Structure 1
Amino acid sequence: MPRLEPLPAECWDDAVQAALSPLLPAERANPRDAGNVLGTLVHHPELTRAYLTFNAHLLVSSTLSPRVREVALLRAVQVRPCEYLWDHHIPIAQRTGLSAAEIDAIRAGDPQHPVDRLVVRAVDELNESNTLSDPVWSELRAHFDERQLMDLIFTIGCYQLLGAAVNVLGIQPEAS
């Protein structure tokens, strides 16, 4: 059950439009096209704009490949469960080339691809201990440069934070 409904259409103003601008083009910054997450977050336009500036970097400008980003993101919202974000990102993950079997393996924590397996291990370790062990860090350094490592860590944290917000606020999936 929603604890906070998306902002009613009659309350959408210039501040809401500005809040969505880091991530959405103007033609999608409306109650119909923004979706329930963004439609709910805009109750606090300043926070939404700050968050979406950060989130847009991770989605659009990250140094990670889209595939690695989606592996990390999916595992992050699996170990700290957020079904809304899991379901929302399945088609995005598929567009990056992840197959249904690979997505199922990420959910199970047992991907076959070596880099996917390492990313899942990093997500799990961060979730369990809020840090990375030296062996995992060393393995990650063999595959990713410093900026990619930072984007990886922040992608995991960003989506676990968003998942918590979605769960606490009771944001519901969009009607089909």
Structure 2
Amino acid sequence: MAITSRLTELDDASMSAAQREVLAEILSGPRGNLDGPFLAWIHSPELANHAQRLGAFCRYATGLELRLRELAILTTAVWWKSQAEWQIHAPIAEQAGLAPEVIAALREEREPAFEQDDERLIYRVTRALYAERRVDDALYAEAVAMFGETVVVELVGVLGYYALVAMTLNVFAVRRGDDIPLPFEEPSRS
């Protein structure tokens, strides 16, 4: 699938040795491609190197079940109106077992009618952190009781990482191709 952005296109001849090294690491890892923010981050190989390692942990190695991780990522994509982040993660979320009705409600910025308590709690923590920039004592205690302290720490890491991803995708207008409809209305650019 063609990825587009407003960045200067890099090819082997224009890349530095550091960029080639990070590119090789990204391509040999679990992602296997420059999808998403890596198209932008490769312009700064040090950022790309650190971010791709954090991203590999956040996407593949936290204590959060994949379904819950993807719920947190989609909630982040909605918050930031991140087109490519949604396009990449909505199919993964559905394959991981997040109900299509939940996914549709998120995209439409409605609170989903969750059937599972763990999903409802991930959504509440995520929304509280984004809207209030805090999680109150009662909600924090509820999250720790359900998931454990380590997983709550990792959830905050996932949210921070995917907020960085969303900002990157938005600033550099990264798109997954013109043939895929955008999930969110695009604000007019001046």
TM-score interval, normalised by the smaller of the two chains: 0.7 to 0.9
Q: Verify: 1:15 aligned to 2:43, yes or no.
A: no
Asked if structure 2 preserves the Cα contact closer than 8 Å seen for 1:41 and 1:48, the reply is yes
Superposition deviation, residue 78 in structure 1: 0.7
Alignment of 1:44-63 (within 5 A): 44-63=44-63
**What are the Cα deviations for residues 100-129 of structure 1, in whole angstroms up to 9, with x where unaligned?**
222123332224122111111111111112
Of 158, 161, 164, the residue aligned with 1:161 is 164
Match of 1:73 in 2: 73
CA–CA separation in structure 1 for the residues paired with 2:168 and 2:8: 13
Asked if structure 2 preserves the Cα contact closer than 8 Å seen for 1:64 and 1:148, the reply is yes
Runs (5+) with no aligned partner, structure 2: 180-190
Q: Which amino acid aligns with 1:99?
A: A
Asked if structure 2 preserves the Cα contact closer than 8 Å seen for 1:6 and 1:41, the reply is no
Q: Verify: 1:114 aligned to 2:113, yes or no.
A: no
Percent same amino acid at aligned positions?
25
After superposition, the CA RMSD in angstroms is 2.4
Runs (5+) with no aligned partner, structure 1: none
Decide which moves more: 138-147 or 49-58.
Answer: 138-147
Of 132, 136, 161, the residue aligned with 1:129 is 132
- SS of corresponding position for 1:156: helix
Compute the TM-score of the two structures, normalised by the length of structure 1: 0.85
Decide which moves more: 6-15 or 60-69.
Answer: 6-15
The one of the two structures with greater contact order (alpha-carbon pairs below 8 A, sep at least 6) is 2
Runs of 4+ in 1 over 3 A off after TM superposition: 20-24, 26-29
Q: Which amino acid aligns with 1:154?
A: G
Match of 1:95 in 2: 95
The number of residues matched between the two structures is 173
| Pair 1:96–1:14, CA change in 2 (3 A) | farther
Decide which moves more: 94-103 or 70-79.
Answer: 94-103
| Pair 1:106–1:115, CA change in 2 (3 A) | farther
Please state which structure has a larger fraction of its residues in helix.
1
CA–CA separation in structure 2 for the residues paired with 1:134 and 1:28: 37
| Pair 1:41–1:115, CA change in 2 (3 A) | same
Match of 2:40 in 1: 40
Decide which moves more: 14-23 or 74-83.
Answer: 14-23
Decide which moves more: 90-99 or 17-26.
Answer: 17-26
Asked if structure 2 preserves the Cα contact closer than 8 Å seen for 1:15 and 1:45, the reply is yes
Asked if structure 1 preserves the Cα contact closer than 8 Å seen for 2:36 and 2:84, the reply is no
Compute the TM-score of the two structures, normalised by the length of structure 2: 0.80
